[in-house]
Amino acid sequence: MYYFPLQPPYFLLLVGFLTALTSGLALSGTLKVIVQKWPTERTENTKPRSSLKQLLVPFIGITGGTSLFLSSGLAIFGFPSSLALGVGLPISVFTCLLVWLQLGSMMTFIEREGMQSLDLDSFS
């Protein structure tokens, strides 16, 4: 016997997708502004952690939108709401946490070594 939800959360799926998309655009714009300011504000007091604080709100938006999108998608495919949330939330939060840690280490590396250190074409 198949389980079909009476009212699949298509609206929540769309809201989650649009939240993650707009937060990603905000994160991209903020990151571009931060990187453009680095050459002009090259002081010893600038820490990479202060740059990450500016990126926290858009990144939380991406995490929330991704969680909502994944949980709603699972609910559309027949998972009960509690199970969809129980699977979707930890997966998206854990993935976003790993991306956040990688972003912080990459920003620290770029500040220390410069943008030229990321030129992968020079290794061939």
The pLDDT tens digits for 16-41 are 999 999 999 999 999 999 888 877 76
Confidence category of residue 1, pLDDT binned at 50, 70, 90: very low
Indicate whether 61 pLDDT > 80: yes
Q: What is the pTM of this model?
A: 0.82
Helices (H), 1-124: 10-37, 48-76, 81-113
**Cα-based distances in Å from 85 to 67, 69, 92:** 8, 10, 10
Cβ(9)–Cβ(76) below 8 Å: yes
The helix-helix angle for 81-113 and 48-76 (nearest 10°) equals 150
